Amino acid sequence: MTLNGEQYASDIFQNGVGQWCHDLATELWPINRSLTGPGLRQTLERLGAEIPSLEVFEVPSGTQAFDWNVPDEWVLRRAYIEDDKGNRIVDTMSSNLHVMGYSEPVDAWMDLEELETHLYSMTDQPDAIPYVTSYYKRRWGFCLSQTARDQLLPGQYHVVVDADLGPGVLNYAEIILPGETTEEVFLSTYVCHPSMANNELSGPVVTIALAKWLSSLPTRKYTYRIVFVPETIGSIVYLSRNLEAMKANIKAGFNITCVGDNRCYSFLPSRNGATIADSVAKHVLKHTDQNYAVYSWLDRGSDERQYCSPGVDLPVATIMRSKYGKYPEYHTSLDDLENVVTPSGLEGGFTALQRAIFIIENDFVPLVTTLGEPQLGKRGLYPDISVKGPANDSRALINMISYCDGTRSLLEISDTIELPFWVLFEMMKPLAAEGLIKRI
């Protein structure tokens, strides 16, 4: 039995994986991502610099994917509002969030009353810029803080959305890391949100870090399929092109999102709720933070909506830090890399997913080779004197052995005796070396 993983992590990320992820997120922050367009391509190229085997695909606008069609490509150059004195009221130079995603081009003068019908702000978070999109209905709009909006005076305003919205392509990227078997572990994250940190930059930076770690392993039991897609339409397009292979090969998968803040851990199950991905995720989170939040399938809201849809039914669960929709900064300009997402938050997200992968790589069904308990004392694995006292480490050892009956996986045994898989995996090593345990 070999240990695939974990110990390699620290070697490959200088200053630690959390700082590495945070640095990369800082670099990606200014890029104006959307469902399509140059910002999306620029993001995928930057990620490809970390993993040369990352391949970028493009799909023409209008292509059908299941019940959907690829939308037109949106190329935003700049958007702003000026008053009649030439003051810039809002400007995408200061934040990509200031323009509604997929705004159609406009260049017009109008009075405040008309302008108001195109403005979006939040009275309950008056200092934050909200994130608003209108992908499938032609509109234009600007997003700004309620505080800034309240200062607008009656008068004429010049609104400019300098953009193209027309036929082009949608892009996504894929990394395949071959393993000893064609069975796959699937990792998916999305790359269509501008300038927000937990939802979404934490997702692609932790995913590319996991890809680097997996690439560095001398062996992998499973093949890894790792994709970076625009949310919803991207996963639908990807599924429509790869469904047969995915259904045939994927053993477990994770949708990677909201893995960057340091406030809590969260679990969202697959639709099935009892896949390997679910078991592994719950095990990892229980032993990472016993107060982790458990959500239901009804709380879902990301690409698992597609991956677990009827007829697709992939075993995809979600490990998060603070879940989308459940932290106050969600979908606003407050979801940033200073106050929300931190190196330690990212490291926690990375480690939880790494542990999940470690379990999937290393789980097996052990069988003790003796009838009755093995005599551990003669092998130095059990106290050679019996004195009354509290339970010692050998207690966990004999508990583990007692369940090695060839019907339970090591993960199931870990859950039964309520210790982490990675602790039991270490405890297995001397037993295997003594020939006391074999794999079924």
Asked if 137 is part of the footprint of a copy of itself (rule: CB under 8 A), the reply reads: yes
Please report, in angstroms and rounded to a whole number, the separation of the first and last CA atoms in the chain: 12
d(CA 262, CA 327): 12
Among 373, 392, 429, 433, binds a copy of itself (CB under 8 A): 373
Asked if 99 is part of the footprint of a copy of itself (rule: CB under 8 A), the reply reads: no
Alpha helices in 6-154 (DSSP H): 9-12, 17-28, 38-48, 112-116, 146-150
Binding residues for a copy of itself, how many (CB under 8 A)?
A: 60
Strand 366-368 relative to strand 437-439, pairing: antiparallel
Asked if 33 is part of the footprint of a copy of itself (rule: CB under 8 A), the reply reads: no
Collapse the DSSP code of 43 into the 3-class scheme (helix H, G, I; strand E, B; otherwise coil) and give the result: helix
For a copy of itself, what does the binding mask look like between residues 196 and 215, x meaning CB under 8 A? --------------------
* Shortest reach from residue 391's CB to a copy of itself, in Å: 9
Asked if 311 is part of the footprint of a copy of itself (rule: CB under 8 A), the reply reads: yes
Helix (H) or strand (E) holding 255: strand 250-255
* Shortest reach from residue 84's CB to a copy of itself, in Å: 29
Among 399, 409, 412, 438, binds a copy of itself (CB under 8 A): 399
- Lookup result for tokens 């079924």: 440
d(CA 305, CA 284): 23
Among 50, 313, 336, 412, binds a copy of itself (CB under 8 A): 313
Collapse the DSSP code of 268 into the 3-class scheme (helix H, G, I; strand E, B; otherwise coil) and give the result: strand
Pick between residue 156 and residue 375 the one whose CB is nearest to a copy of itself. Answer: 375
Give Cα 351 distance to the centre of its chain.
12
Pick between residue 9 and residue 431 the one whose CB is nearest to a copy of itself. Answer: 431
Q: What is the DSSP letter of 198?
A: I
Distance of CA 424 to CAs 142, 397, 403, Å? 55, 8, 12
Among 21, 90, 132, 340, binds a copy of itself (CB under 8 A): 132
d(CA 269, CA 149): 40
Asked if 312 is part of the footprint of a copy of itself (rule: CB under 8 A), the reply reads: yes
Q: State the residues that interact with a copy of itself by CB under 8 A.
A: 65-68, 101, 120, 122, 130-137, 139, 232, 235-236, 239-240, 243, 271, 297-298, 300, 305-306, 308-313, 330-332, 367-368, 370-375, 377-378, 384-388, 398-399, 402-406, 417
